[in-house]
Structures are given as structure tokens and as C-alpha cells.
Structure 1
Amino acid sequence: MSEFSDNLHEVFERFGRITVRRMFGGHGVFHEGRMFALVANERLYLKTDAQNRAAFEQLGLPAFAYARQGELARMNYHEVPAEVFEDREEAARWARLAWDAALRAAAAAAPRRPAAKRATRR
């Protein structure tokens, strides 16, 4: 791991326990088994979706992007504001925004069980 990634445990101490795993040339940041953040090129990005993206965009925080087959691919992760590294309460607040987005994504991806058929009476 990098020193940057190792320090994330302290950054998010007021949010809760996290684990950091190496993946795709960077690191995934997990809470309760779900990825809510990623580290790439010594920058931290938090999970975004339609409900929380505006908070990131208002501050001009860029989305994580990478080159894929010669094209720029953007992911639903945005860089964190600098305050996250200076204020543990702010870090927890932003982490909760990302965590909620991760939970919404998981709920949307969960397979739906077919509705039970009702017995018809004759």
C-alpha cells in the first residue's frame, strides 16, 4: 500500500472502519464490504450518483476518468474536497454521501424476486 492509502484509516475514523484493497493499479476503499471510494494516482475519489453528484460538481470536483480503448471513460466517482484531509467531521460527512450512493447502487443492482402468484378462487 502507499502512505496515502494507509492514512485513509485516520481520515475516515469518524465515519467508521474501512478496508483498503489494491485493485486496477489503484486502491478500493470499502466499508462493511462495499466499495465507496477509490484511490488513483494518489487522489481520493468518492462514489457519486444522481442524488449526490451536485454536491461535488458545485465545488468543481472532477470525476474519475481513465483511458479505455483510446477513449476517455468516466466513472461515478468524484474527487474529494481538500477539507476531507483536514477535518475528520467533514471527512465523515462526505463519506456518508458516498456510502449512501454505494447502498443505492447495490439496491438497484440487486436481482428482483418475481412477485408471488396469487391463488385464484373459483
Structure 2
Amino acid sequence: MDNAGIEEMFEGLGPVSIRRMFGGKGIYHQGLIIAVDLRDEIMLKADEVSGPEFAAAGARQWVYENKKGTAVPMPYWTIPEEAFDDPDEMRKWARLAFEAAERVNAKS
């Protein structure tokens, strides 16, 4: 997705900055990474608090296979389908991603 499209997607949350990273883009709000764009798919940050909400909404967690062939789950989930057509829903999921980023940041 181009940067203008990403900015529009997250406008309900507020301004975002976009940086290139590991073959994709990192999407930041207030200095915290809240999403990634990998292979033209936006994935939102989640944690042990918000992950179950993403799963219940039918979102898919990013899992990659390491060199040993072991599945490694990452803290990013696809955007639930209903959010693509509803700005209020997108704002809700973006807010959950930002809250997860704040919790992770508070722990470190």
C-alpha cells in the first residue's frame, strides 16, 4: 500500500509516520510502532491483552518459520475484514494496536 493510503487508513487514530523496514514498512503513532506493511498487507500490533480480540474477530496472526523449521508467532495480526469498510471499526482496531504498543513500551 502506498504511504498516502496508509495515512488515510489510520486517520481516525491520528497522524502516523511510516518507515521502511525489513522489506516492508513500519507504521508509527506517537513514536511507537503500531503496525507493519508486509507484502502489501497491513498487520496491527497486538499483545496478550488484545490478541484474543483479534482472534475472535477472525484476524490471522503473523507466524513465520525460523531456520530450524519452528513456527514463530509475531505480535502482529491482520486487520479484521469489517474494518476495511467502516472507519469507526478501523479506528477501534488501530486504537487497540496503539494500546498494545503502549503496554509493550511500558514493560521495557
Partner of 2:25 in structure 1? 27
- 1:74 is displaced (CA, Å) by 1.4
Question: Aligned partners of 2:72 and 2:46: how far apart in 1?
Answer: 15
5+ residue gaps, structure 2: none
Greater relative contact order, per chain length (Cα 8 Å cut-off, separation 6+): 2
Q: Who wins on radius of gyration, i.e. which is larger?
A: 1
Partner of 2:48 in structure 1? 50
What SS does the corresponding residue of 1:28 show, helix, strand or coil?
strand
What SS does the corresponding residue of 1:7 show, helix, strand or coil?
helix
Partner of 1:113 in structure 2? none
Superposition TM-score, scaled by structure 2 size: 0.90
Partner of 2:84 in structure 1? 85
Deviations 1:27-80 (A, max 9, x none): 111001110111111111111111111111112311112232143321011111
Partner of 2:107 in structure 1? 108
What SS does the corresponding residue of 1:61 show, helix, strand or coil?
coil
Query: Which aligned runs of 4 or more in structure 1 are off by greater than 3 angstroms?
Result: none
Percent of aligned positions that are identical: 35
Superposition TM-score, scaled by structure 1 size: 0.80
What SS does the corresponding residue of 2:75 show, helix, strand or coil?
strand
What SS does the corresponding residue of 1:56 show, helix, strand or coil?
helix
Preserved contact between residue 58 and residue 80 of structure 2 (Cα < 8 Å)? no
Partner of 1:71 in structure 2? 70
Question: Aligned partners of 1:83 and 1:16: how far apart in 2?
Answer: 20
Count how many residue pairs are aligned between Structure 1 and Structure 2.
107
